[in-house]
Amino acid sequence: MVNENTKVEWEAEEYIARDKGAGWFIGLIIVALVLVGVSVWLQWWTFIALVVVSAVALIVYAVRPPRKLKYSLSKKGLTEGNRTYDYDNFRAFGVVRDGANFAIVLIPRKKLSPSVKVYFPENKGEEIVDMFGMRLPMEEVKQDLLDKLVEFLRI
């Protein structure tokens, strides 16, 4: 039974690692080389640096395994490691299924703020949803263009 003073704790990976084969890395390098070539032709020197830094950052991010983080949910808000998200910063929440994994998506009050996606184990799902439900309304979460792009690129 979840009440006002209940505290729910769990561990989960910060994101779901998608399988990226050699083709993914080759495709990234080809796209980066094409963009560099166009930039040289148009003499966009700053854009060349942006493309190179972005490609390197994507490769580093792609090969880095996700960290296992500790989460807790209390009357104060959601704590992720050392960071706390106050309920007042969000207007609603939703539950999504990402393959075999479940996640809570916190929808921010501010228009340009990013949503917060937190994965959780299925056995803690009811407690977590009940805790959020006591403080925030539940909404259906739809993927925006950025979410679809991230899923397509497997990052």
Amino acid, res. 27: G
- For residue 59, give both structure tokens: 């490769």
Topology given in CATH for the domain delimited by 8-15+67-153 = PH-domain like (2.30.29)
CB contact set of 60 (below 8 Å; sequence gap of 6+): none
**Residue pLDDT, tens place only, 115-144:** 899 999 989 889 999 999 999 999 998 877
Q: pLDDT digits over 70-93, tens only?
A: 999 988 899 998 899 999 999 999
| Residue 25 CB coordination number (10 Å) | 14
pTM (2 decimals)?
0.77
Q: How confident is the model at residue 9 (pLDDT cuts 50, 70, 90)?
A: very high
- Dihedral pair phi/psi, residue 95, rounded to 5°: -115, 130
Task: Kindly state the DSSP code that residue 70 receives in the 8-state scheme.
Answer: E
